[in-house]
Structures are given as C-alpha cells and as structure tokens.
A = this chain, B = another copy of it.
C-alpha cells in the first residue's frame, strides 16, 4: 500500500512503475510523476544531500498524510540522493486509485510537499563549479494551494 524509499544509487523508473501498477490490479488508474535531471542548461551534475534522521521519516509521514486524505489503493515515493547527471531520474511518485481524480490530486499534493518540505538540499555543478540551490517562491505558492 505504502512504498517509500530513499536511494543512493540509480533506479529504473519504468520498472518501478510497472511493478507498482501490477501490484494494484483493482485500481482503475495510476498517476505518476517522474522528475529527472534536465539536460541542456549547462548543468553537468546535481547533488542531493539529506539528513538521515529526518528525511525518510518525513517522507513516510507525508505518505501517511496522502493516504489519509485520498482514497488510494497504493502510493509509491522513490527519491534519489547523491550525485546525478542529466537524464538521471530524481524522484518518482505514483498513486493508484479507483477514481482518476484521487490519483491526480494525491500525486500532485505529494510532489508539492516533497519539493518544498522534505529535507533535501540540492546543489548544481556548472562550468563555474558547485552552487547550492535556494528555495523558490514558486514552491511556496504551490504549497499554498492545498
């Protein structure tokens, strides 16, 4: 029902999604979000750091909140940490539900909260070297929608 993982090595999002979908044959629909490292804006690498005592427990609490709010058959949250390069998957969220609307809302909500409230710190490497990424106003606005 709830599958929440923090991975320090790469993962295969299509395999994860296939397994998740196969595991919920009673669900009519599965909504997923896959975030990947963008290619083509001069970013050579991206690093996500976390704080182990808080990050995974926080993600599990988020999953519980999502499951309490929408009628889901299952929820998957997989998040990378460590150093990634363009095209590497960063995060996969999937929600399986009987009703499409629940799956969309749950995945959308989970992503907004993962992005703005989870304990991840991100830095990017360009030809100028590494630079920490600051919070974005857009993320705070996204969160205010719920």
Residues of chain A touching chain B, judged by Cβ–Cβ distance below 8 Å, are: 13-15, 17-18, 21-22, 25-36, 38-41, 86-87, 98-101, 103-104, 107-108, 111, 115, 138, 142
A32 and B35 contact, CB distance less than 8 A: no
Copies in the complex: 2
Q: Which residue of B lies closest to A31 (CB)?
A: B33
Query: Which chain B residues lie closer than 8 Å to A38 at the CB level?
Result: 25-28, 98
C-alpha gap A38/B24 in the complex (Å): 9
In the complex with contacts A14-B17, A15-B14, A104-B33 CB distance below 8 A = yes
Q: Which residue of B lies closest to A98 (CB)?
A: B38
B14 and A36 contact, CB distance less than 8 A: no
